[in-house]
């Protein structure tokens, strides 16, 4: 069932929704396919929803952030070329954001582009990254420094995959779901606060609602700005401090959890600048942000000097100051380029007592 049709300047595509694993028979219909499956997904689902896949067309691939680089891409080129890949070869990938980034990059560059279908298996990939056309690779310690814009031909979304995710990986996806609902305005935020206990218990109907809302909200932000020049930048809410915390924790804090911490910090700064009232800030913290945290930052990861340094390396930064996306009382977002180290220190201090693990 088509859930959404996404318009892209490169190619329009549909997100197809399945409550049963009927996407498998559709994938099997393609005669020139190579299906690359995340190793952990294969372990959990080879005898379950993926049992109908012809093993002759399946390659199981182990992913990690360390492998989301040019070496990982080469390994995939070799797999494809080993199967005498031709331009009509269709690449299918079944996995989370890492496999999406790797295979999307491969599909966009091999023979200057081969058809690609993506089946997202994590909450983050289903609710967020599967639309938007971005592929990213890490390069020499810099996260997501290389990349292309390349939409898949289709996305098949089967929410039940997330039932086998590890708790911290699932919580990471939940962080992005919360961010998108906050960006969707007060009503969507209230709806999500009501759903939160069900989402934490991975209730499938609640997940269905949250995923659909998230994709609609994200689409509204990039529809008119596919190539990331203006409004799409606001999707970086929570990510300025979030990326910095990923760096200071050497990726111990998973991406979406770092984004939740990043939103808490951005709200502190917004409150001090008079953009966000203390009442709204407290309500967002109490009802959504704190209850979704399952990782506590350590003392050394909360260090202001290290964080200011990491904020300075933000690749979205254009001015000479530090960049930050903040939320205002009416839930509108604003991007500034003049965040000061003093503001960073004050925001860190005000949350430290409650959030940070004692040394
Ligand atoms: N391209 C984009 O637009 C975009 C957007 C956001 C994030 N990302 C990238 O996505 C990555 C994070 O992706 P993610 O959170 O989806 O997770 P992931 O791909 O990092 O997977 C996390 C772990 O879960 C395992 N896994 C995946 N699906 C599973 C399942 N259904 N059951 C059991 N285990 C499963 C994986 O093997 C891995 O060990 C980051 O590298 C980030 O930079 C890309
Ligand atoms: Zn993110």
Which atom of ligand 1 lies closest to the CA of 256? Answer: 15
- Domain map (residue ranges) of the chain: 2-164, 223-355
Radius of gyration of the chain (CA): 20
Which residue among 60, 97, 147, 253 is best mutated to probe the pocket of ligand 1, counting the most ligand atoms within 8 A of its Cβ? 97
Could you list the pLDDT tens digit for every one of the 359 residues in the chain? Answer: 788 999 988 899 999 999 999 999 999 888 889 999 999 999 999 999 999 999 999 999 999 989 999 999 999 999 998 886 676 788 999 999 999 999 999 999 999 999 999 999 999 999 999 999 999 999 987 888 899 999 999 999 999 999 999 999 999 999 999 999 999 999 999 999 999 999 999 999 999 999 999 999 999 998 877 676 678 889 999 999 999 999 999 989 999 999 999 999 999 999 999 999 999 999 999 999 999 999 999 999 999 999 999 998 876 656 668 999 999 999 999 999 999 999 999 999 999 988 998 87
Q: Model pTM?
A: 0.95
Give the pLDDT confidence score for residue 136 in this predicted structure.
95
CATH code reported for the domain at 223-355: 1.20.1090.10
Query: Which ligand has its closest atom nearest to the C-alpha of 65?
Result: 1
Give the pLDDT confidence score for residue 317 in this predicted structure.
59
Give the pLDDT confidence score for residue 318 in this predicted structure.
62
Q: Among 182, 178, 50, 71, which Cα is nearest to 123's?
A: 178
Which residue among 36, 129, 207 is best mutated to probe the pocket of ligand 1, counting the most ligand atoms within 8 A of its Cβ? 129
Q: What are the φ and ψ backbone dihedral angles of 252, each rounded to 5 degrees?
A: -65, -40
CA of 176 to the centre of ligand 2 (A): 6
Residues with CB under 6 A from ligand 1: 38, 40-41, 44, 63, 65, 68, 95-101, 121-122, 124-125, 128-129, 132, 134-136, 144, 161-162, 164-165, 169, 172-173, 255
CA of 129 to the centre of ligand 2 (A): 8
Domain at 2-164, CATH class: alpha beta
Give the pLDDT confidence score for residue 268 in this predicted structure.
98
CA of 270 to the centre of ligand 1 (A): 30
Which atom of ligand 1 lies closest to the CA of 162? Answer: 31
SS (H, E, C) 232-246: HHHHHCCHHHHHHHH
Query: Which ligand has its closest atom nearest to the C-alpha of 144?
Result: 1
């Amino acid at each position: 069932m088509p859930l959404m049709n996404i318009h892209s300047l490169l190619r329009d595509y549909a997100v197809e929704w399945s409550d049963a694993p009927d996407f498998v028979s559709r994938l099997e219909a393609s005669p020139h396919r190579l299906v690359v499956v995340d190793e952990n997904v294969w372990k959990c689902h080879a005898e379950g929803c993926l049992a109908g896949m012809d093993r002759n067309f399946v390659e199981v691939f182990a992913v990690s952030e360390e492998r989301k680089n040019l070496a990982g891409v080469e390994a995939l080129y070799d797999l494809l070329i080993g199967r005498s890949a031709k331009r009509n070869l269709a690449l299918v990938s079944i996995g989370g954001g890492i496999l999406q980034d790797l295979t999307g990059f491969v599909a966009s560059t091999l023979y200057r582009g081969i058809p690609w279908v993506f089946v997202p298996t994590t909450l983050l990939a289903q609710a967020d990254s599967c639309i938007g056309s971005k592929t990213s690779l890490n390069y020499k310690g810099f996260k997501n420094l290389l990349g292309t814009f390349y939409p898949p031909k289709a996305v098949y979304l089967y929410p039940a995959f997330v039932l086998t995710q590890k708790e911290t990986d699932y919580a990471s996806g939940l962080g992005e779901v919360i961010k998108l609902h906050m960006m969707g305005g007060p009503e969507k935020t209230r709806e999500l606060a009501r759903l939160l206990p069900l989402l934490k218990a991975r209730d499938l109907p609640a997940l269905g609602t949250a995923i659909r809302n998230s994709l609609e909200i994200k689409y509204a932000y990039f529809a008119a700005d596919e190539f990331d020049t203006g409004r799409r930048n606001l999707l970086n809410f929570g990510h300025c401090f979030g990326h910095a915390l990923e760096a200071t924790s050497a990726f111990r804090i998973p991406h979406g959890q770092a984004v939740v911490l990043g939103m808490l910090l951005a709200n502190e700064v917004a409150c001090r600048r008079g953009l966000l009232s203390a009442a709204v800030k407290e309500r967002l913290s109490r009802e959504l942000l704190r209850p979704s945290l399952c990782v506590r930052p350590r003392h050394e990861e909360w260090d202001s000097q290290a964080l200011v340094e990491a904020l300075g390396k933000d690749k979205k930064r254009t001015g000479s100051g530090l960049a930050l996306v903040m939320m205002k009382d009416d839930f509108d977002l604003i991007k500034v380029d003049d965040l000061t180290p003093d503001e960073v220190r004050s925001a860190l201090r005000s949350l430290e007592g409650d959030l940070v693990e004692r040394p």
